[in-house]
Structure 1
Amino acid sequence: MTSPVTREPAVTVRVFTQRFSSTPRGARLARRLALHQLDRWRLPYGSETSDAVGLLVAELAANAVTHGRVPGRDFELTLSYAPGLRLRVDVSDTRGERRPAPVAPGPLDEGGRGLLLVEALASRWAVLDRVPVGKTVRAELDLAP
């Protein structure tokens, strides 16, 4: 007796990867190119998903160039898109010893709210070790089919 074969629809995962200089200009360019890539993947500018990813990339890239910068080393942005399932944002830098953690800032603090924003926008986020050196901060958005 054989069991019937059920076929799952194929899922094409689209990936965009780019390295940027660890400068404020590199962080701005990462956000702009991420939004451009989403538009090419038919997630238009101004859509809820595009706006959320734009904020995630802006915050994670800013953190990479502010807290994860090593002179002479770039940071890397990777977007992975599985239509109708998930969109993943990975920002990697070469400073593995400085791990981000959300902290509640005081009312007069000028910074410290970025990871709270990431936590609010992303379905989940994590900090992963990067081989051979550094770390990757990953934020994922679950997408409705």
Structure 2
Amino acid sequence: MKPKPLIPDAYGPKLSPPTATFSIMLRSTPRSARLAWLLVAERLTDWGVPRRTDCFNIAVLIVAELAGNAVRHCADAGWDFSVQVTMHPAPSDAATSTLRIESPTPVPTDHCGATPRRPPDCESGRGLSLVEALTPHWGCVARDAGTKSVWAEATL
């Protein structure tokens, strides 16, 4: 996996202003991680993204991974987490819109950067590898001294 540098405002290519937004703050519980992807799935349907398509499934998988990671890293400290989804229309020279999925968490920013390599028999630690494989852009940036944000973009 390519290391992702911790660079403020390292948000990939410039996107056009969003045409639709959704944000929710949840408690750090496994039930909340499931609720996050269910709510985002409903919102995507409301926005006209067809279910059972690659773009819909990839978007929901990204939400599940980012929310699951947020729960894993925030629950012990009792922190809440959020999921933010924005839809950006295609620029005039492109045929596809972009969906940006972001999960800001109050985790120290020194947790940003390259994801550690896991042994093959490890039961966890492969989710961001999936995100990287399925999305054109993703990363982790510091929002301030005590908050990081993991984000990914999916093509619609």
Give your verdict on TM over 0.5. yes
CA distance in 2, matches of 1:112, 1:73: 21
Displacement, 1:70? 5.6
Please list every run of 5 or more consecutive structure 1 residues that lacks an aligned counterpart in the other structure. Answer: 1-9
TM-score scaled to structure 2, two decimals?
0.77
Task: Give 1:136 deviation, angstroms.
Answer: 0.5
Alignment partner of 2:106 out of 90, 94, 98: 94
Q: Which runs of 5+ in 2 are unaligned?
A: 1-15, 90-95
TM-score scaled by structure 1? 0.82
Aligned-partner Cα distance in 2 for 1:93–1:21? 11
Change in 2 beyond 3 A, CA 1:100/1:120 = same
Contact 1:69–1:94, Cα closer than 8 Å, also in 2: no
Per-residue CA deviation, residues 64-119 of structure 1 (Å, 9 max, x unaligned), is 11024463321010001024321100011111242263334322111111110010
Alignment correspondent of 1:141 = 154
Shift of residue 51, structure 1, vs aligned partner: 0.1
Correspondence 1:48 to 2:60: no
Q: Which has the higher contact order (CA 8 A, sep 6+)?
A: 2
Superposed displacement of residue 48, structure 1: 1.1
Structure 2 CA distance for partners of 1:127 and 1:39, relative to 1, 3 Å: same
Of 28, 50, 55, which residue of structure 1 is paired with 2:34?
28
Which of structures 1 and 2 has the bigger CA Rg? 1
Return 44-53 or 92-101, whichever deviates more: 92-101
Specify the alignment match of 1:4 in structure 2: none
Structure 2 counterpart of 1:128, one-letter code = V
Q: Residues 34-69 of structure 1: CA distance to partner in whole angstroms, max 9, x if unpaired?
A: 111000000022111110011101111111110244
SS at match of 2:112: coil
Structure 1 stretch 92-101 or stretch 112-121: which is displaced more? 92-101
Output the amino acid matched with 1:37. Answer: R
Could you give the per-residue CA deviations for residues 6-38 of structure 1, whole angstroms, max 9, x where no partner exists? xxxx97521101101111111110010011100
Q: How does 1:11-26 map to 2 (within 5 A)?
A: 13-26=19-32
Percent identity, please.
Answer: 36
Query: Following the alignment from structure 2 to structure 1, what is the Cα–Cα distance between the partners of residues 79 and 115?
Result: 25
Partner SS for 1:63: helix
How many matched pairs? Answer: 134
